[in-house]
Structure 1
Amino acid sequence: MQNLLQELTGLLSLDDRLVSEGRLMKNKVVELALNLDPLLIRHLLKSESMKSHFFSDVDGIFVFDKIKFQKFVSNKKFLPDSFTSYKNKIGLTSESEYLTDSQEVVLSWPYKDCVLEGGQDREDSVRTEIFWNETLAPDQIDRLLSPKALANFRYLGKKYGEYVEEVSAESHLLIKGNNLLSLHTLVKNYEGKVRLIYIDPPYNTNNDSFQYNDSFSHSTWLTFMRSRLEVAKKLLAPNGVIAMSIDQNEAFYLKVLGDEVFGRANFISAVTVQNNPKGRVMDRHFATSHEYILFYSKARLAEELSVRKTAEQLKKDYTEQDEDGSFRTLELRNTHREFGKHNRENLFYPIYVNPADSTVSLEKSKEYHIKVEPIWDDGFEGCWTWGTTKVELEGDLLLGRQVKGQWKIYRKSYATSDDGEAVSRKLKTIWLAKEFHTEKGQKAVDQLVGKGRFRSPKPVEMIKTIVDLATKQDSNDIVMDFFAGSGTTGQAVLELNAADSGNRVCILCEQLDYIETTTSTRLQKVAEPLGQSIIYCELAVANQAFVDAIEAAATIEDLAKIWADMQEKAFLSYRVNPRAIDESRDEFANLSLADQKRFLVEVLDKNMLYVPASEIDDQAYAIPEADKAVNKKFFG
């Protein structure tokens, strides 16, 4: 077998597509084999040993056995690096089996808490963390995604310093912890109840962001997003809407993913936002000055999305006044020339005006003697927008006016509806408002938490617009953001509630450590003067504490101390034999610091990163009694 391995390595090395930085890429080899790549097959047919091993002779025609070839290439003995060789030696890697053979599925980095920082839309955003991937059996995934216990409850805002006794349906929440696991934890209480989800996910601006070769960079990012969007869909109410900010690097891939998860028929619109009017001058060819927001609904919406007009807009647009309030006039004639008497004959009829008081009637009389028809100035026979039945019912909203010697019919449009609600307007799909520029969002954060604490946050006014678009002020609508970043969505909801006496509830999830400094500080400073409060809590950590320590370790000596602590306190994978690891300490010492970190994370049981809510009473987790009480009320 060794000779076959060496010969195959030599043959594959002749194909430049399979070589990166002097090394063969296993993933690419498998990908081309499964796609029956002609050039790869020609390389293999050059060797008699490859022919006899991976091809079947059927009446003189060589048929490639791609499954057998895939098994061979995926074998742990093919192209092992020092890290893989070490894992093989201590027995952490099981014998080579395909996922379809072993009935296992790949769940990629749902537990990785150093996921790219939110707002990855700048050139210096690439981070150096490794993204770990593992193969988990279905029952392991079920356990991994089971609800987690919550801990370290405290109030931000008005009730700062008070004791948290309960998380109610009206409570604003800020949760620290892996966002995928946070979402699954929230499903029990909030499934089918969230009116709006807004997210600003990592943008995957560089192909190396997810530590894969180029062929897998987009699929890796999309798998990361899909696992979160699928549970987000469960959380959305039947009339729920999700809005996703994204730039052009992944916008079109995300559109395809969104169509698959939410249904193509439930795609609402792609809005273009001018976020940097000067453009990014370092970009090639074009200076990018925009990004997108993709809107989807969970099901077909019965009502249109719209925003209420501001006081300034109402004053500008509704300049006339009568006993019923401020109004503006709109011409009753259909202004679209494709509609007219030729295809809307029932909407072509005369309306009669009383010139003394401008009132109208469908019947000609002594008072109502001015005949008006929907005819254009050039003689084209158009049509009205209302039929005769509606004119009979709501004729008091119509009036006749003489314009440049010609009589026309207008209808009154009031600034408020019959129930006192301000009129709404549809938004256009290109947003150019200065308040939506990134620099506005940056200024807001800098003023609250200090400069340099968080870069490129979304503008508050833009998020307010999205919240206003999809929610009602008096209906306890829930707004969620599971890439909370600096907390812009939370600030938008709190300020909008204060402005219109709304009852919206915000639920925010963030997994990076700046939640304790930037996000919490910002929301504390926003909520307190508004007289509102937010409950801060965390997914109760178990093995995640060791993951954090491993990531923070600066030296190999630090990792040695962590490993000693792990053997005593951590939940290790069932595949791990600590004695075998210690017996191979010399080989372990020869690994790079990054590979040592990677290995120590792999030996942890990923199901035990956080404390399962069902095991909250287990004394091993040392959950305080007060936190247990809140959890039991929350989970019922």
Structure 2
Amino acid sequence: MPLLDWLNKPASLQTARLVSYRLLECVPALGYGATPNANLLIQGDNLEALKALLPLYAGRIKCIYIDPPYNTRSAFEHYDDNLEHSQWLSMMYPRLELLRDLLAEDGSLWVSIDDHEGHYLKVMLDEIFGRKNFIANVVWQKKFSPQNDAKWLSDTHDHIHCYAKDKSIWHPNLLPRSLKQEGNFQNPDEDERGVWVSADYTCAKSKDERPNLYYAITNPNTGEEIWPATTRVWAFDRTSHERNVANDLLWWGKTGANSKPRFKKFQTDIQQGTVPVTIWFHQEVGNNQDGRRESLVFNKIEPFSTPKPERLIERILHIATNPGDWVLDSFLGSGTTAAVAHKMGRHYIGVEMGDHAVTHCQPRLQKVVDGEQGGISKAVNWQGGGGFTFCRLGATVFDEYGMIDKAIRFPTLAAYVWYLETRTPWIAPDTLSPLLGIHDSTAYYLLYSGILGDRRPQGGNVLTQTVLDGLPKHPGKRVIYGETSRFGAGRLAAEGITFKQIPYDVRVG
């Protein structure tokens, strides 16, 4: 598979691994509605935020949509969108790596981009996600009229690259049928089975390719013997055709004298929806002007230049998620993805680094909770409710010497240790225990921060016989993290224990 190369690529391949883990600190004053709430709005650098989310959300996100800076050498008000090409690629690579790790196995990534970097991004995504997991390049009509001042060609579209974490298990949801499509179903012969549409009764094969599909059929109304065109054959073999005739599935026209039959497909037999296509017109999903008008509702002084319309994000989330699924946008911008996810009953995480996380995103989500009626609200019958938690990035888990920050408490370190060992998120139980869980027949324990009720330096954080006797039992292999162990290597082996010392063996990469 061809790979993309650029200045500083070797360093960018290591960036995600070297990013420090940081704590997420809640800001109660900026949360809203039913709080604390699973929905998260995070203010901070998205690379550090994505790394901080890994221990709790790796493999849990069903759909990721991002609208990164397009690197167009334009002076965007809220972004430094004038990055040199190699810098842009180096900025995107580690973020895409972390996003891949956050995706569920049946999840999908959707990235908006234009022609300046879109084709380079495609090659990069092939490298990170695997070319076999490419789903489609959706073309979105972002403008509906030409720019007469364009120097060359008027730009009217954006790309949306779609990748699956694992294409073999990812499947899109069908889109609702439009009123126009529903109108195609009729019942001119008053068939008691209901309305239907007609389909071609032939297919594009030659009689040499499929001789069993090339035969004469008789029009029952005229007695005429009918053959398919020389470049085509019937869509059914003789046995299936006879069954179609017996089931009254052929349509010869209103007079019954058509020279070719058509096949009746009843609405009740057709899947309730349509397969998504790769060209999305502005009449269906909105355009840049719609997005700008929607953002004016939340900030009339400093609207974003090119916010995405809510209908566009609704289309993506409808295809890629179901109610209750997790949605992530790490370039949240004006907050559209989070707003749409909230109205559609999805859980969401939105990340923004600038002040507009507070000046734009937070007020917008607050109004969504209150039941605002812009965007898709009427289409989904949004009445308000729910809430979100606002967080900022706090201290790093490890200091410059690799020591654990003294402010770290048991649940935080437990999440990192569990992710380090299993690469899966840790779901904290209602009652904390030294036993973090069992994964692939191995039990993992953490002796830290007085979890056993003894905060003395040589107390419950040290593996002793008394401590071991008090741990929840497990008949198989055990991995125990602690301050130190009083057991020698032989005793540990006899007990089936792998002991790992805090902080030296806690290296989450």
TM-score category of the 2 structures, normalised to the smaller one: 0.5 to 0.7
Q: Among residues 328, 331, 337, which one is paired with 2:197 in the alignment?
A: 328
**Mapping 1:340-379, distance limit 5 Å:** 340-351=206-217, 355=221, 373=226, 375-376=228-229
* Residues 417-472 of structure 1, C-alpha deviations (whole Å, 9 max, x = no match): 57xx622133143635374320011111112433533331001111111222223x
Pair 1:414–1:223, CA change in 2 (3 A): farther
The Cα shift of 1:344 comes to 1.8
> What is the correspondence of 1:219-368 to structure 2 with a 5 Å cutoff?
219-279=86-146, 283-301=150-168, 305=172, 307-320=174-187, 322-334=191-203, 336=204, 339-351=205-217, 355=221
Shift of 1:207: 9.2
User: How is 1:118-137 mapped onto 2 (pairs within 5 angstroms)?
Assistant: none
**Which of 30, 54, 67 pairs up with 1:187?**
54
Do structure 1's residue 524 and structure 2's residue 371 form an aligned pair?
Answer: no
| Partner SS for 2:137 | strand
**CA RMSD across the alignment:** 4.3
1:511 to 349, 353, 356: 353
Q: Does 1:402 align with 2:268?
A: no
TM-score, normalised on structure 1? 0.53
1:484 aligns with 2:332: yes
8 Å Cα contact 2:219-2:226 kept in structure 1:
no
| Counterpart code for 1:398 | L
Separation in structure 2 between the aligned mates of residue 526 and residue 246 of structure 1, nearest angstrom:
27
1:397-476 to 2 correspondences below 5 Å: 398-402=249-253, 405-415=257-267, 422-429=272-279, 431-433=281-283, 435-471=285-321, 473=322, 476=324
CA shift, 1:484, in A, is: 1.2
Matches within 5 A, 1:19-98: none
Larger Rg: 1
Going from structure 1 to structure 2, the CA distance change for 1:465 and 1:383 (only over 3 Å counts) comes to same
Alpha carbons of structure 1 residues 536 and 109: separation in structure 2 relative to 1, 3 Å: farther
Distance 1:314 1:541, change over 3 A: same
Higher helix share: 1
Structure 1 residue 244: deviation in Å?
Answer: 0.7
Q: Quick one: distance in 2 between partners of 1:190 and 1:252? A: 30
What one-letter code is carried by the residue in structure 2 that aligns with 1:406?
A: N
Q: Percent identity, aligned pairs only? A: 26
Mapped to 1, the partners of 2:47 and 2:112 lie a distance apart of: 18
- Tell me, in whole angstroms, the C-alpha distance in 2 between the residues paired with 1:333 and 1:372: 16
Match of 2:503 in 1: none
For the 8 Å contact 1:372–1:409, the answer to whether it is kept is no
- CA 1:373–1:197 in structure 2 vs 1: closer, same or farther (change >3 Å)? farther
Separation in structure 1 between the aligned mates of residue 97 and residue 253 of structure 2, nearest angstrom: 58
Q: Which amino acid aligns with 1:411?
A: F
Q: Which amino acid aligns with 1:537?
A: F
Aligned partners of 1:197 and 1:479 also within 8 Å: yes
Letter in 2 for 1:477: D
Aligned-partner SS, 2:63? strand
Amino acid at match of 1:528: D
Matching residue's letter, 2:341: V
Instruction: Give 3-state SS (helix, strand or coil) of 1:308's partner.
Output: coil
Task: Provide the rounded CA distance (Å) in 1 between the counterparts of 2:332 and 2:110.
Answer: 13
Q: Which amino acid aligns with 2:153?
A: F
The verdict on how the C-alpha distance between 1:292 and 1:106 changes in structure 2, with shifts beyond 3 A counting, is closer
Residue by residue over 1:517-564, the C-alpha shift from the partner in whole angstroms, topping out at 9 and shown as x without a partner, is: 211221222233223323222134248xxxxxxxxxxxxxxxxxxxxx
Shift of 1:155: 8.5
Instruction: Answer whether contact 2:42 2:393 (CA < 8 A) is retained.
Output: no
Which range moved further: 408-417 or 270-279?
408-417
* Structure-2 change in CA distance of 1:516 and 1:393 (3 Å): farther
Partners of 1:507 and 1:394 lie apart in 2 by: 52
State yes or no: 1:198 paired with 2:68.
no
Amino acid paired to 1:226: Y
CA–CA distance in 1 between the matches of 2:351 and 2:284?
28
Aligned to 1:582: none
Q: Deviations over 1:15-62 (max 9, x none)?
A: xxxxxxxxxxxxxxxx8xx9xxxxxxxxxxxxxxxxxxxxxxxxxxxx
Q: Distance in 2 between matches of 1:330 and 1:391?
A: 14
Could you tell me whether the CA contact under 8 Å between 1:199 and 1:243 is conserved in 2? Answer: yes
What is the rounded CA distance, in whole Å, between the counterparts of 1:454 and 1:350 in structure 2?
64
Check the 8 A contact 1:207/1:217 in 2, yes or no: no
Unaligned stretches of 5+ residues in structure 1: 1-30, 35-98, 111-137, 356-368, 498-502, 544-570, 575-604, 618-630
- Aligned to 1:535, the other structure's residue is in SS state strand
Task: State the TM-score, normalized to the length of structure 2.
Answer: 0.65
Alpha-carbon separation, structure 2, partners of 1:266 and 1:387:
36
